[in-house]
């Protein structure tokens, strides 16, 4: 079988809906299912050269997805143990963030940043204010690269909607 990205895309296209459905059954959450699907596609694309042409692509992709899901469950259990030992209060995290120390002067922008979910903030500030690449953020935060990309995308979407008037003023 041809190991090109185009051949991978050709094989993946008809399986996309089924894989997303399987991811939803694993995670029982639409956002987590999208992350799991994305991570599965990234992992499979990297390993596409090792795919045996006599095997079923769906079975192969489901195996990758299952292993990623198990890894996530194990990591979540480890994080839960750590959080139980060192509990975090989301409001305290927001209150302790001094967004005025960042290079953001406009109060509307600071307010929009403060309205983001707590788990998105390290990704957004690390990427846009500290200049860290996606891979560096993933390593630093101990989360998958796909999760970093998803959080950045969602944060950009939320910020774009919240700051449409600021963008219009500056245009």
Looking at the structure of the chain, the number of domains it has is: 2
Assign residue 30 the CATH number of its domain: 1.10.1740.10
Owning domain of residue 56: 5-85
Q: Are residues 28 and 94 in the same domain?
A: no
Q: What is the pLDDT of residue 91?
A: 54
Which tokens hold the place of 78?
A: 């480890």
pLDDT at 100 over 70: no
> Of the residues 49, 65, 85, which one is the last residue of a structural domain?
85
Domain boundary among 29, 61, 85: 85
Q: Which of 21, 53, 85 is the last residue of a domain?
A: 85
Residue-wise pLDDT tens digits, 116-170: 888 888 888 888 877 888 888 888 888 888 999 999 999 888 888 888 887 777 7
What 8-state DSSP symbol labels residue 100? G
Q: Are residues 76 and 114 in the same domain?
A: no
Helix (H) or strand (E) holding 67: helix 57-85
**pTM greater than 0.75:** no
């Amino acid at each position: 079988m041809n190991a090109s990205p185009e051949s991978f895309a050709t094989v993946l296209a008809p399986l996309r809906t089924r894989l997303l459905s399987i991811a939803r059954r694993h995670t029982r959450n639409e956002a987590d299912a999208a992350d799991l699907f994305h991570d599965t596609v990234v992992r499979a694309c990297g390993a596409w050269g090792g795919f045996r042409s006599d095997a079923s692509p769906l079975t192969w992709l489901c195996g990758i997805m299952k292993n990623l899901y198990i890894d996530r469950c194990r990591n979540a259990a480890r994080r839960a143990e750590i959080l139980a030992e060192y509990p975090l209060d989301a409001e305290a995290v927001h209150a302790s963030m001094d967004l005025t120390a960042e290079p953001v002067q406009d109060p509307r922008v600071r307010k929009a940043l403060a309205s983001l979910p707590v788990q998105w903030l390290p990704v957004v500030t690390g990427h846009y204010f500290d200049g860290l690449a996606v891979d560096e953020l993933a390593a630093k935060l101990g989360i998958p690269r796909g999760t970093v990309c998803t959080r950045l995308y969602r944060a950009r979407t939320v910020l774009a909607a919240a700051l449409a008037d600021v963008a219009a003023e500056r245009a």
